[in-house]
Structure 1
């Protein structure tokens, strides 16, 4: 059954475009037919309600009967969307619970740590790539884009919530993880860094990617951490896109290469 949305509901959903209201309510919006379809299918995050601007769009999705569906006028729907050409489908979702450092510390595999990754498209692509390669967790450090803002969620193509996550200062988190055997690897384009192809990965590996413009914070470079570079044809381009670099490195660290 499809119910017309009230003005008050529309007002509350519109507020979710702002980070402070996402933090306050613990809700976020996933937009787009493919994105919502994947979130429904994967079940990684809990959905509170589905929003559409045309009743016929409901038939494109496998929506449980227990899930409320609300119809909005096209103008109202567009006011909630952050895209120029909305697809007419949204899901209001619950922000998944953060993982604890203790839970992550006792596991093995690869953790992706993002240091001030600010571009939402890069952030979403990295989250999706981390899910593809089976990353144990993603750490969102200071200065990162909000992983639950609409463009990031859309860029994950439905992978939001697929990987455990922690948000916070790397100093304390790294200290605790390193004390339980995790080894930190810093993606660094300098000549002094070790060629990725020759890097022997640890059973517990933390892969750090830095800001698109300034790279990894200098305070993270310590003697016990390994600097890693991705080889390429020097002189053609200055550096790789952050999401592309993460994808290449994750293939190596996942043990699939």
Structure 2
């Protein structure tokens, strides 16, 4: 197995991808971790520019037969590209998938998921992974939501990054535009005015909003719209984790679709 050695300039450019402004500028991101990188390579949805491994990493057939340019770094250099305390020894330098458009997403059937100021990278990554499992038609990434190509988000998707079309958007205007052409919008909310998830309808064109972990959904986005709650025992626990709540909702919707 032959490895290439990156130039100092390449290493500097790769390190910069740990920062959001450079990911946006270069339209590239870092995918880290054995399972995550394997899935990205096997699914071929994301263009991979290079595969970077730590010295001594044991390459399996997925990597050997990928046809990608392979770079080997010493531990210090490799750790400078990682945002984890215990790196797994493999990183992919990836091109960011192109955003879809509202016009394209509005022509789809099924469910879209809208993220309103979801700030925890692990939560967002898990929700993208779950939405991919349940074959959601697309994602609306609202303002205040963590970058979906943040290294921790990508790692938490376990390879689902790029599986679903997405747009980054101002949810207030975008949701109104979708409603104007017949889409239904629902907010996942535990308030007393909410309808039980068990009784919720699933129109053929439906958008489900999931909100900020601490503050919930912006009241402006819920005004005049259907609210859906997940029944449980609030005496035992105040609320559900956002990613868990979305998982339950998507399972319910998929079972009655």
With normalisation by structure 1, the TM-score equals: 0.96
- Structure 2: unaligned runs, 5 residues or longer: none
- CA root-mean-square deviation: 1.4
Contact kept? 1:106, 1:180, Cα under 8 Å: no
> What pairs with 1:218-233 in structure 2 (closer than 5 Å)?
218-223=219-224, 225-233=225-233
| 1:11 CA displacement | 0.9
Alpha-carbon separation, structure 2, partners of 1:75 and 1:38: 26
> 2:24 maps to what in 1?
23
> 2:74 maps to what in 1?
73
Give the 3 Å change call, closer, same or farther, for CA 218–25 of structure 1 in structure 2: same
SS in 2 for 1:127: helix
| 1:54 CA displacement | 2.4
Contact kept? 1:50, 1:67, Cα under 8 Å: yes
SS in 2 for 1:144: coil
Contact kept? 2:57, 2:89, Cα under 8 Å: no
> What pairs with 1:137-156 in structure 2 (closer than 5 Å)?
137-156=138-157
Alpha-carbon separation, structure 2, partners of 1:192 and 1:96: 39
Paired positions, count: 256
> What pairs with 1:1-257 in structure 2 (closer than 5 Å)?
1-54=2-55, 56-59=57-60, 61-64=62-65, 66-223=67-224, 225-255=225-255
- Structure 1: unaligned runs, 5 residues or longer: none
With normalisation by structure 2, the TM-score equals: 0.96
Alpha-carbon separation, structure 2, partners of 1:57 and 1:174: 48
- Deviations 1:28-73, CA, capped at 9 Å, x for gaps: 0000111100101111211010001125433353444531111111
Alpha-carbon separation, structure 2, partners of 1:28 and 1:11: 14
